[in-house]
A and B are shown apart, each in its own frame.
Chain A
Amino acid sequence: MTEYDFKLSQEIELLRLVAVGSVDDGKSTLIGRLLVDTKGAFEDQLLAVRKKRGQAHIASPEEIDLAMLTDGLAAEREQGITIDVAYRYFATPKRKFIMADCPGHEQYTRNMVTGASTANAAIILIDARNGVMPQTRRHTHILGLLGIPHLIVAVNKMDLVGYEQSVFEAIRAEMREYCAKQGIRDLICIPISALNGDMVAVRGEHMDWYTGKTLLETLETLSVMDDIDRKPFRFPVQLVNRPQTRELPDYRGFMGTIASGTVRVGDEVMVASSGLKTHIKEIVTFDGNLEEAFAPQSVSLTLTDEIDVSRGDMLVHPDTPPQDTRDLSANVCWIGAEPLTRRKKYLIKHTTNTVKAMVAEIEFRRNIHTLEQEAADALEMNEIGRITFRLQKPMYYDAYADNRVTGSFIIIDTFTNNTVGAGMIV
Chain B
Amino acid sequence: MAERISEHRLTQLKALEAESIHIMREVVAEFRNPVMLYSIGKDSSVMLHLARKAFYPAPLPFPLLHVDTGYKFPEMYEFRDWYAREIGAELIVRRNEEAIARGMNPKEYGVARCCGALKTQGLLDALEEGGYDAAFGGARRDEERSRAKERVFSIRDEFGQWDPKNQRPELWNIYNGRIHEGESVRVFPLSNWTEMDIWLYIREENIPIVPLYYAKKRLMVERGPLLIPVYPGMEDQLHEGEEPVEVMCRFRTLGCIPCTGAVRSEAATIDEIVAEAAAARRSERETRIIDHGSNSMEDKKKEGYF
Q: Is the CB of B25 within 8 A of A1?
A: no
How many A-B residue pairs lie within 8 Å, measured between CB atoms? 195
* Docked complex Cα distance between A89 and B196 (Å): 11
A404 touches B171 (CB 8 A): no
Is A367 in the interface zone, CB < 8 Å from B?
A: no
B298 touches which one: A74, A284, A350 (CB < 8 A)? A74
Across the interface, which residues of B come within 8 angstroms of A83, CB to CB? 165
Give the contacting residue for A96; candidates B12, B26, B52, B286; CB below 8 A: B12
Cβ proximity bits A380-420 to B, threshold 8 Å, 1 near / 0 not? 00000000000000000000000011001110100001110
In the assembled complex, the CB of B282 is this many whole angstroms from the nearest CB of chain A, namely 5
- Whether, in the assembled complex, A69 has its beta carbon less than 8 Å from a beta carbon of chain B, the answer is yes
CB contact between A296 and one of B10, B56, B146 (< 8 Å): that residue? B10
Per-position 1/0 for A333-370, Cβ under 8 A of B: 00100000000000101111000000000000000000
Contact (Cβ within 8 A) A349 B192? no
Q: How far is the CA of A242 from the CA of B167 in the complex (A)?
A: 35
The count of chain A contact residues (Cβ–Cβ below 8 Å) is 81
Judge whether A4 and B278 touch: CB under 8 Å: yes
Contact between B148 and A86, CB atoms less than 8 A apart: yes
Assess whether A422 is interfacial by the CB under 8 Å rule.
yes
B5 touches A11 (CB 8 A): yes
Q: Does B170 contact A (CB under 8 A)?
A: yes
Whole-angstrom distance between the alpha carbons of A404 and B171 in the complex? 11
- Establish whether residues A412 and B178, one from each chain, have CB atoms under 8 Å apart when the complex forms: yes
Q: Which of the residues A44, A87, A417 comes within 8 Å of B192, measured between beta carbons?
A: A87
Are A114 and B180 interface neighbours, CB within 8 A? Answer: no
- Residues of chain B within 8 A of A422, CB atoms compared: 169, 171
Q: Is A211 interfacial (CB 8 A cutoff)?
A: no
Taken together as a complex, chains A and B put the C-alpha atoms of A85 and B141 apart, in Å, by: 11
- A10-B11, A84-B167, A296-B18 known; A42+B57 contact, CB < 8 A: no
Q: Which residues of A contact B54 (CB under 8 A)?
A: 255, 298
Q: Does A331 count as interface, using CB distance less than 8 angstroms?
A: no
Binary contact track B114-147/A, C-beta < 8 Å → 1, others 0: 0000000000000000000000000001101111
Known: A229-B8, A298-B25, A410-B176. A1 touches B266 (CB 8 A): yes
A43→B149 contact, CB < 8 A: no
Interface residues of A in 80-97 (CB under 8 A from B): 83-89, 91, 96
CB atoms of B180 and A417 under 8 A apart: yes
Contact of B22 among A12, A86, A257, A287 (CB under 8 A): A257
**Which residues from A are CB-within-8-Å of B174?**
349-351, 408-410
Contact A262-B178, Cβ < 8 Å, known A84-B164, A408-B172? no
Contacts of A11 in B (CB 8 A): 2, 5, 11
Partner of B179, one of A1, A39, A113, A417: A417
A313 to B102, CA, bound (A): 54
Complex interface: chain B residues within 8 A of A89 (CB): 141-142, 192, 194
Task: Name 19 interchain pairs, CB-CB below 8 A, sorted by A.
Answer: A1-B276, A4-B274, A6-B203, A71-B145, A87-B141, A113-B169, A225-B9, A238-B22, A243-B57, A247-B57, A255-B55, A262-B8, A287-B53, A298-B17, A298-B18, A298-B19, A410-B172, A410-B174, A422-B171
| Further 9 A-B residue pairs, CB within 8 A, beyond A13-B12, A75-B165 | A10-B11, A73-B165, A113-B171, A114-B169, A238-B26, A241-B55, A296-B10, A408-B171, A409-B174
